[in-house]
């Protein structure tokens, strides 16, 4: 076979067959030429994108091997049958220490090995048209047993992830940052702490609306406690901060929170997510308790106001107030009954001076009858002219259809 001039050196052509490859390179000068060829290949494999052209002449081989003076293979470049290109660097004992590869799927890989041959670092970049991991790039760091201890990568959705594993590659810490245009979790950033089964036990995250959240999970992955703080410019609940306690079996749960208006609230929900009981302290100073039915309708409301008024309201199933009991700072105490339109129809009251009174009203809130008892025992009774009066005596109910003609009739 004819010889080829290469940078002033004579290089003999190399014939390679499937069973045997000839690596007779000639004199010492030719050995240096081969090293230069290997160096060019190494530069190309580690990131050089510009092809190296050497006087328009190419030495074509399927495998290149370099040995040291002791005959140990130290460097190897191979094209495998599946089309993968592999470059291997070995230490003086012949142990593989660095491997560079472009595999048959176009994935660029780099692996670093310990002196015992155990892989310790692995990096990879997937092509953008890869069917499962398009554009994914990352690095794995392995422990001495060959199990992954740390993963850092950017996945096909451009989510940046950083994972720390235990010796079983399960429990550990997972941190992540989602891109601002992610279709489901735009801009989310956070960290999960995993239990021994690899399930999230604790999560701290800032979501797409910049709400800071802290969540605790049970062993089945269900949230049991969740805390949150909303930003000052939240579109609906600015500066809301609170904590929720959630039943892991989708049962009753409760919530405590504070709002921008300065109020503090404590709510209890049933398994259907209906509020059944709440305690509220408003910024105005009002204190409130609410009891609701299974449909979430308020039925009882207890209130204490800053002015000294305290009342208790009873509501029907439609949410209409039907009864009010109250007392205030001036010594008044009373009881009202209301109709379905919340018009007062009956009132009973005690006054600061000891007087007791009761009144009956029609639908237009006009007093139709009233009774007053003073401290000295005087009783005053009023019935509107023409009204039908019902009187109770020791014989039972007596209906007296009389027209009141006494002087107080026209008061």
Q: Does residue 35 carry a pLDDT above 90? A: no
State percent of the chain over pLDDT 90.
56
E-only strand ranges, 14-147: 63-67, 73-79, 85-90, 96-102, 108-113, 119-125, 137-142
Q: Does residue 243 carry a pLDDT above 90? A: yes
Q: Which residues of the chain does CATH 3.90.930.1 include?
A: 66-144
- What is the pLDDT, as a whole number, of residue 31? 52
* Torsion angles phi and psi, residue 281, rounded to 5: -120, 110
What CATH topology corresponds to 66-144?
Answer: Outer Surface Protein A; domain 3 (3.90.930)
pLDDT band at 310 (very low <50, low <70, confident <90, very high): very high
Own/partner long-range contacts of 245-252 (Cβ < 8 Å, ≥24 apart): 246/222, 247/271, 248/218, 248/220, 248/222, 248/224, 252/276
When the pLDDT of each residue in the chain is averaged and rounded to a whole number, the result is 82
CA 229, 234, 238, 240 torsion-angle sign: negative
Rounded to whole angstroms, how far apart are CA atoms 277 and 255? 11
Q: Is 352 exposed, middle or buried (0-12, 13-18, 19+ CB in 10 A)?
A: exposed
Q: How many of the other CB atoms lie within 10 Å of CB of 330?
A: 10
Q: Does residue 75 carry a pLDDT above 90? A: yes
Own/partner long-range contacts of 62-66 (Cβ < 8 Å, ≥24 apart): 62/16, 62/21, 63/16, 63/21, 64/34, 64/37, 64/38, 65/23, 66/34, 66/35, 66/38
Q: Is 87 exposed, middle or buried (0-12, 13-18, 19+ CB in 10 A)?
A: buried
Q: Does residue 247 carry a pLDDT above 50? A: yes
Q: Does residue 4 carry a pLDDT above 50? A: no
pLDDT band at 12 (very low <50, low <70, confident <90, very high): very low
Which range, of 21-25, 304-308, 369-373, averages the lowest pLDDT? 21-25
The pair of three-digit structure tokens given for residue 262, joined into one six-digit string = 């300065």
Q: If you average pLDDT over residues 177-186, what whole number do you get? A: 95
pLDDT band at 138 (very low <50, low <70, confident <90, very high): very high
- pLDDT tens profile 229-242: 999 999 888 889 99
Q: Give the three-state DSSP class for 138.
A: strand
Residues β-bridged to residue 292: 298
pLDDT band at 250 (very low <50, low <70, confident <90, very high): low
Q: If you average pLDDT over residues 338-357, what whole number do you get? A: 91
Residue whose pair of structure tokens reads 């009141």 in the numeric block: 404
pLDDT band at 44 (very low <50, low <70, confident <90, very high): very low
Q: If you average pLDDT over residues 380-400, what whole number do you get? A: 52
- pLDDT tens profile 151-173: 999 999 999 999 999 888 877 99
Q: Give whole-number Cα distances, 352 to 28, 244, 333, 334, in Å.
A: 121, 45, 9, 11
Q: If you average pLDDT over residues 30-50, what whole number do you get? A: 47
Q: If you average pLDDT over residues 329-344, what whole number do you get? A: 92
Q: Does residue 11 carry a pLDDT above 70? A: no
Nearest to 196 by CA among 153, 222, 167: 167
Is the whole-model pTM more than 0.75?
no
Q: Does residue 17 carry a pLDDT above 50? A: no
- pLDDT tens profile 193-226: 999 888 999 999 999 999 999 999 998 888 999 9
Contact 359, 351 (CB under 8 A): no
Rounded to whole angstroms, how far apart are CA atoms 64 and 12? 14
CA contacts within 13 A on the Cβ side of 275: 15
pLDDT band at 55 (very low <50, low <70, confident <90, very high): low
Rounded to whole angstroms, how far apart are CA atoms 245 and 249? 12
Rounded to whole angstroms, how far apart are CA atoms 363 and 67? 110
DSSP state letter for 170 = S
Calculate the CA 83 to chain-centre distance: 44
- What is the pLDDT, as a whole number, of residue 197? 86
């Amino acid at each position: 076979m004819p010889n080829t001039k290469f940078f002033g050196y004579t290089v003999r052509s190399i014939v390679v067959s499937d069973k045997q490859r000839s690596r007779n390179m000639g004199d010492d000068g030719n050995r240096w030429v081969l090293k230069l060829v290997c160096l060019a290949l190494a530069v190309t494999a580690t990131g050089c994108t510009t092809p190296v052209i050497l006087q328009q002449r190419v030495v074509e081989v399927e495998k290149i091997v370099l040995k040291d003076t002791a005959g140990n293979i130290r460097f190897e470049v191979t094209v495998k049958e599946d089309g993968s290109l592999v470059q291997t660097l070995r230490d003086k004992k012949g142990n593989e220490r660095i491997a560079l590869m472009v595999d048959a799927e176009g994935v660029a890989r780099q692996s670093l090995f310990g002196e015992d041959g155990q892989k310790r670092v692995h990096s990879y970049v997937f092509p953008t048209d890869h069917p499962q991991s398009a554009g994914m790039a990352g690095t794995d760091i392995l422990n001495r047993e060959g199990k992954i201890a740390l993963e850092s990568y950017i996945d096909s959705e451009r989510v940046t992830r950083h994972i720390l594993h235990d010796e079983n590659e399960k429990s550990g810490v997972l941190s992540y940052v989602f891109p601002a245009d992610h279709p489901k979790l735009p801009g989310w950033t956070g960290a999960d702490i995993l239990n021994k089964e690899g399930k999230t036990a604790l999560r701290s995250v800032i979501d797409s609306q910049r709400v800071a959240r802290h969540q605790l999970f049970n062993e089945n992955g269900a949230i049991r406690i969740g805390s949150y703080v909303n930003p000052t410019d939240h579109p609906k609940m600015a500066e809301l901060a609170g904590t929720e306690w959630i039943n892991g079996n989708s049962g009753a749960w409760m919530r405590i929170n504070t709002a921008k208006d300065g109020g503090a609230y404590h709510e209890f929900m049933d398994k259907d997510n209906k509020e059944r009981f709440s305690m509220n302290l408003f910024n105005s100073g009002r204190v409130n308790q609410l009891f609701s039915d299974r449909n979430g309708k308020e039925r009882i409301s207890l209130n204490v106001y800053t002015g000294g008024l305290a009342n208790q309201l009873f509501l029907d199933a439609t949410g209409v107030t039907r009864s009010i009991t109250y007392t205030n700072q001036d010594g008044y105490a009373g009881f009202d009954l209301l109709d379905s339109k919340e018009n007062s129809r009956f009132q009973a009251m005690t006054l600061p001076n000891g007087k007791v009174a009761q009144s009956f009203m029609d639908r237009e809130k006009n007093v139709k009858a009233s009774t007053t008892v003073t401290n000295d025992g005087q009783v005053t009774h009023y019935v509107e002219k023409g009204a039908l009066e019902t009187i109770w005596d020791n014989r039972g109910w007596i209906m007296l259809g009389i027209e009141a003609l006494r002087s107080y009739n026209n008061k």
